[in-house]
Amino acid sequence: MIKVLVNGAQGRMGRTVLDAVKNDSELELVGAVDIFSGEVDGVKVETDLSAALDKYKPDVMVDFTRPNAVFQNVMTALEKKVSPVVGTTGLDDVAKEKIRDATEKFQTPAFIAPNFAIGAVLMMLLAKQAAKYMPDVEIIELHHDKKLDAPSGTAELTAKMISEVRNAHKQGHPDEVERLANVRGADYEGIHIHSVRLPGYVAHQEVIFGGLGQTLTIRHDSTGRDSFMPGVLLACKKVRTLSGLTIGLDKLMD
């Protein structure tokens, strides 16, 4: 049995993770942490992550907290030789490199995924393949209005994966003018990324390719947070077999 502690247990994702872990025969839920104490579905929620890690001695810490807290949470877990499985987005490249260094220092693997939905991973892989043949592309990501960071980690990773097979170039008319600032969205090596934040959405993304006389749209929709659970559970089971820092659910998929 793999012992799991859930950090961010009182949030929408955290509650869903608690249920998923409790119902998996290969995992044991040993603890829950949040900035708010209390109880979730009969599970006591603690507020001190470091103390909870010492108390429950989990193998894995699942983190769905906040962008301004996740880095320290991960470092705390690694110092105690607990493997983080991170779904919180907002970690920049500098933070990821520090985490990578910490995994080596403490000989404890860590796993980060911008998106745990298997369909979203397939969307990114298909987009990378399509970009070899249709290099003009834009990304639209749509999320609930409580999401704190933009663009989403999924959109950013999609753009990075596409850039591996596509030469950077300016898209649109060379003399185009933005009459409203940033109306064309963010620019990643010429790939425009647009972020939508509205009530009613969960997590959605379109990757739109344009070519001579045709367009191609690859879209993924998470209509419920349970869509992320197979990926989270897979990461919990696999992370201790990895080494260093692993980023992306595709690394765990055959």
Assess contact for 45 and 37: CB atoms under 8 A.
Answer: yes
Domain(s) labelled CATH 3.40.50.720 in the chain stretch across 2-112+226-252
Interatomic CA distance for residues 73 and 202, integer angstroms: 25
User: Taking Cα atoms as reference points, which of 74, 73, 139 lies closest to residue 100?
Assistant: 74
User: Which residues have a Cβ under 8 Å from the Cβ of 182 and sit 6 or more positions away?
Assistant: none
Catalytic residues: 143, 147
Over the stretch 76-125, which tens digit does the pLDDT of each residue have?
A: 999 999 999 999 888 899 999 999 999 999 999 999 998 999 999 999 99
Query: At 136, which helix (H) or strand (E)?
Result: strand 136-143
User: Which residues have a Cβ under 8 Å from the Cβ of 82 and sit 6 or more positions away?
Assistant: 5, 53, 58, 59, 60, 61, 108
Interatomic CA distance for residues 184 and 195, integer angstroms: 11
Over the stretch 195-254, which tens digit does the pLDDT of each residue have?
A: 999 999 999 999 999 999 999 999 999 999 999 999 999 999 999 999 999 999 999 986
What pLDDT does 140 receive?
98
Pick the CATH number of 118-223 from 3.90.230.10, 3.30.360.10, 3.40.190.10, 3.90.1150.10: 3.30.360.10
Interatomic CA distance for residues 29 and 44, integer angstroms: 11
In CATH, what number does 2-112+226-252 get? 3.40.50.720
The structure tokens 């919180």 sit at 88
pTM for this entry: 0.83
Domain(s) labelled CATH 3.30.360.10 in the chain stretch across 118-223
